[in-house]
Chain A
Amino acid sequence: AQSVTQLDSQVPVFEEAPVELRCNYSSSVSVYLFWYVQYPNQGLQLLLKYLSGSTLVKGINGFEAEFNKSQTSFHLRKPSVHISDTAEYFCAVSAPNTGTASKLTFGTGTRLQVTL
C-alpha cells in the first residue's frame, strides 16, 4: 500500500514571494506522482505529474515539482505566487504496476493562502 504525507496543512505567503509545498510518500513499489489543485467548492485539476524520465516536472500556472527517489519526496514549487494561486493543493500517488487495478492515494492537502 502507498501513503502520502503533506507536512504543512496551511502555508501563508505574500504575493510575488516563492513558495514550496512539501510532499513525501511511502511505497514498496515504483509509483507515479501527481499534484492537484482545488479551488473552493470545485473539483480537482491536475497541475503536473511524474511518470518517469526527468525528475524535474513543469506544470501549469508556473508550478514545478522535483521527484527525489532517495528522499521519497515530490515537493511543489513556484518562484513567484499570485493571489489567484490561493487554493488547496493535493499530492497523490498511484502504483500502476502491482498487477491489480491501481488508484490514486491522496495526501491531506495544503492550503496555500496568498496575501498582498
Chain B
Amino acid sequence: DGGITQSPKYLFRKEGQNVTLSCEQNLNHDAMYWYRQDPGQGLRLIYYSQIVNDFQKGDIAEGYSVSREKKESFPLTVTSAQKNPTAFYLCASTPAGKGGMNTEAFFGQGTRLTVV
C-alpha cells in the first residue's frame, strides 16, 4: 500500500543532542513538507521541498535542518539550537509540484518528540 511512513513513533532526546526524524513516501509525490503541532497552536510549517535537492524554509525553521537527496525521503533534524523541541511532528506530501497543495495532502502518522 502506498503512503507516508514516519519513524520512530516516539522519540526521546536529551538536551543538547541533535536528533533526526525519518519520513519516507512511496506515492511518487514531488513535494514534501514538515509541520510541527503544539496544543492550541495548530500546525506550523517548518520546511518544505518541491523537488529533489531543493528545499525552502517555512514559518518556524530556526533550529531545524532538512535534506532531500531522494524523491522518497525528507528527513528532519532537530538541532540543539531548537529551544523548545518537544512537540508532535508531521510529515506530508502532495503530488503537486510548484502548483502547490491544491490536491489532497497525505500525512504520516507523526513522531512525538520529547526532550528529557
**A residues bordering B, Cβ < 8 Å?**
6, 9, 32, 41-46, 49, 51, 90, 94-96, 100-109
Evaluate whether A49 and B104 lie within 8 angstroms (CB atoms) in the complex, with A42-B110, A43-B109 already known. Answer: yes
How many B residues face the partner with a CB closer than 8 A?
A: 30
Q: Across the interface, do A46 and B42 meet the contact criterion of CB distance under 8 Å?
A: no
Q: Does B33 contact A (CB under 8 A)?
A: yes
A100 contacts across to B, CB distance below 8 A: 98
Q: Does B56 contact A (CB under 8 A)?
A: yes
Expressed in whole angstroms, the Cα–Cα distance for A46 and B58 within the complex equals 22
Question: Which residue of chain A lies nearest to B43 when distances are taken between CB atoms in the complex?
Answer: A106
A selection of 18 A-B contacts at a CB cut-off of 8 Å is A32-B102, A43-B107, A44-B43, A44-B90, A46-B105, A94-B100, A96-B101, A101-B50, A101-B56, A101-B97, A101-B98, A102-B99, A103-B33, A104-B33, A104-B105, A106-B35, A106-B43, A108-B42
Expressed in whole angstroms, the Cα–Cα distance for A51 and B105 within the complex equals 14
Other-chain residue from A32, A41, A101, A107 in contact with B42 (beta carbon distance below 8 A): A107
Shortest beta-carbon distance from B44 to chain A in Å: 8
B52 contacts across to A, CB distance below 8 A: none
Shortest beta-carbon distance from A35 to chain B in Å: 12
B53 contacts across to A, CB distance below 8 A: none
Q: Across the interface, do A42 and B109 meet the contact criterion of CB distance under 8 Å?
A: yes
Q: Does B2 contact A (CB under 8 A)?
A: no
Evaluate whether A43 and B40 lie within 8 angstroms (CB atoms) in the complex, with A96-B100, A101-B50, A101-B56 already known. Answer: no
Q: Does B48 contact A (CB under 8 A)?
A: yes
Expressed in whole angstroms, the Cα–Cα distance for A108 and B4 within the complex equals 23
Shortest beta-carbon distance from A66 to chain B in Å: 19
